Amino acid sequence: MITMGAAMWPIDSMFASQAVRVYADVVGWPLAVGYQARPRRGCTCQDADCLTLGAHPVPGPPSLGGTEETVRELETSPGAGLVAWTTAFDAVCIFRAVGMAVMVFLDRATPPPCLIDGGHAVLLVQPGTGRAALRAGLPASVRSGPAGWVAVPPILGRSWDTPPWPAGTKAPRRLVSGDVIASLLADASAERPQTDA
User: What whole-number percentage of the chain has pLDDT above 90?
Assistant: 33
3 state DSSP class of 91: strand
Backbone angles phi, psi at 159, to 5 degrees: -150, 160
Backbone angles phi, psi at 154, to 5 degrees: -90, 115
Query: What would the pLDDT profile of 97-111 be if each residue is shown by its tens digit?
Result: 999 989 998 988 889
With 0-12 / 13-18 / 19 or more C-beta atoms within 10 angstroms meaning exposed / middle / buried, residue 196 is exposed
pLDDT at 62: 64
pLDDT at 9: 47
Query: What would the pLDDT profile of 164-197 be if each residue is shown by its tens digit?
Result: 988 878 889 999 999 999 988 887 766 655 444 3
pLDDT at 196: 42
Domain boundaries, the chain: 2-191
Average pLDDT over residues 7-13: 49
- Model confidence, pTM: 0.84
Crossing angle for the helix pair 178-191 and 96-106, to the nearest 10 degrees? 120
pLDDT at 132: 92
